[in-house]
């Protein structure tokens, strides 16, 4: 999978949009592309390096994913309880990666619905 294929997939999800909100923070973050479901992040990656992506994940699922795939590791600068980094070209298939991105998209949708009900 290449950067355009992953970008197209993320943007194909309903109400998703992209942005580069970290461009003014520090030099290394200028190329971080973030995908949102409404206003909640669900996937981000560096478009220049394109060696991994970071996604939201259920805390219950993280230990199992880390045990099963060497591609799964801790995210950079996000909560280790709710986010994972997935390295590309490792032991995870593109189909599994896309499935986890979709779960991330749904997870932020559910958190928004729960918050709206309060």
Q: Report the candidate in 82, 87, 90 with the shortest Cα–Cα distance to residue 108.
A: 82
Instruction: Write down the pTM of the prediction.
Output: 0.89
Cβ contact 67:80 at 8 Å: no
Cβ contact 16:37 at 8 Å: yes
Cβ contact 46:32 at 8 Å: yes
Cβ contact 18:34 at 8 Å: yes
Distance CA 31, CA 46 (A): 5
**How would you write the pLDDT of the chain (118 residues) with one tens digit per residue?**
899 999 999 999 999 999 987 776 666 677 899 999 988 999 999 999 999 999 999 999 999 999 999 999 999 888 999 999 999 999 999 999 999 999 999 999 887 554 444 4
Q: Give, in order, the Cα–Cα distances in Å from 43 to each of 51, 78, 90, 118.
A: 14, 12, 18, 26
Cβ contact 32:85 at 8 Å: no
H-helix segments, 13-72: 62-68
């Amino acid at each position: 999978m290449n950067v355009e294929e992953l970008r197209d997939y993320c943007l194909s999800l309903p109400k998703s949009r992209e942005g580069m909100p970290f461009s003014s923070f520090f030099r290394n973050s200028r190329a971080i592309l973030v995908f949102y479901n409404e206003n909640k992040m669900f996937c981000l990656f560096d478009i220049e390096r394109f060696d991994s992506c970071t996604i939201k994940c259920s805390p219950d699922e993280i230990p199992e994913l880390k045990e099963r795939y060497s591609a799964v590791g801790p995210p950079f600068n996000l909560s280790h309880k709710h986010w994972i980094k997935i390295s590309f070209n490792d032991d995870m298939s593109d189909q599994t990666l896309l499935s986890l991105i979709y779960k991330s998209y749904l997870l932020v949708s559910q958190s928004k619905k729960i918050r709206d009900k309060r």
